[in-house]
Each structure stands twice: as C-alpha cells, then as structure tokens.
Amino acid sequence: MLRLLYNHLFLNEQRNSMKKIFKQAQKGLPSHCEASGGFTLIETLIAIFILTLTVGGLLTLAAGGYFSVRYARNQIVADNLIQESLEYIRNTRDGAAQAGSGFWQTWQNQYTSCQTSSGCIIDPYTTTANAHVQACPSSGCPAITFWPSVGFYGYKTHSYANIGQGGSSPYDTSYIRTVTMKAGSNPDEVVVTASMTWFNGSSQKSASQSILLANWNF
C-alpha cells in the first residue's frame, strides 16, 4: 500500500516538473509560435524565393548542357563535311596516278573551277552528270541540304541514288562549304583547302583544313 502511494506521488511530481519545463520553453518562443505552428507571410515568401533560385539555376544548367551538346554536334558535322571533300579530291588524284606519267595536269584540269577566288563545291555522291565539281558563283557557294530521314548531306539541285531530287523532306542547313585549289611551292604540288561556315544560333562559326597533294610520278 505504501509502495503504491509512493509511486503515485512520484508520478505527480514528474508530471508537475514537465509542465514547468514546457511553460518555461514557451516563454522563450516568439508570440506567433505560441499560437500556431505555421509560417508567417514573410517566411513563406523567403522560402518561395529560395526555391525559385534553386529551380532557376537547375533549368539554366540544363539549358546550357543542351546547347553545348547541340553546338558540339554541329562542329562534328562541319569537320566531317570538310574531311569528305578533301578525301574525294585525294582519291581522284590517287586514281589518276595509276594511269602513269602525264596524269598530273590532266587531273588538275578537272578542278579548274576550284582554282578561282570563288572556289567550288565538291559533291562525291551525286548521280547528276558533271556535278561532282562545280564552280561557285561570285556571291558564294550554296548551302548544303540535309535529308533527315536518311541522315544524308548533299545539294538539293543534285540527284542521288535511292534518294531522288526532292524525296524525304530535305531542307537547307546553314553549312556552306567552299573548296579552293592553289599551286604549291613548285609545279608538282597543289594546296587544297576546304572551308566551312555555319551558325550556332545567331553566332556564325567557321572551320577550315588544308592538304598538300603532290605529283607521285615527278
């Protein structure tokens, strides 16, 4: 009986102590916290502002990453188109060299239109007659056309095997390729330069590459 009375008194004392501690803690809080556990208008506005900054930063980072990938892709396409034209000219030189001596001048005559200041276009894959090498007008070379359904780059005025002249919804790109050929330091050398311009958004980009081709039989 005494033990039960002791436990009862002990629990009451503990309960009273907890009440005192709780009241003392309440006195140290701002008045608005005593009445409610919610946020004030200022606190809500600050939280929204911080959230906006965080989300805005993430969106800016994502957009920057998207444009970086897109611009890198454009650069790769431009480099490949430059290399394509140079390799075509190199291959025609190699093929002409198999004819033996005397091929050098005959081979260069194929690229007379490239030896002007306006340059020429090179189209390795066209099936249009006499269209592999064409002089560019003084206003500049035409833009390269893209066939998205087959991932092919060419010129809309030319025909191609398995594509046709207007099939698969082609559209003009911003890529403009110009090829020039100039004499080297001696009559048995020529310098071939392929240059490319294109747009990344509103910013114009450019790239060029040159190779030195020699008369194998001199």
Instruction: State pLDDT tens for residues 172-190.
Output: 999 999 999 999 889 899 9
Instruction: State pLDDT tens for residues 209-218.
Output: 999 999 976 5
- The position carrying tokens 């001696």 is 186
Residues 104-123, buried b or exposed e (16+ Cβ, 10 A)? Answer: beebbeebebbbeeebbbbb
Instruction: State pLDDT tens for residues 76-134.
Output: 999 999 999 999 999 999 999 887 778 899 999 999 999 999 999 999 999 998 899 99
Q: Are 145 and 154 in contact, with CB atoms under 8 Å apart?
A: yes
- Cβ-based neighbours of 175, under 8 Å, separated by 6 or more: 77, 78, 81, 143, 144, 153, 196, 197, 198
Mean pLDDT of 139-146: 96
pTM of the model: 0.68
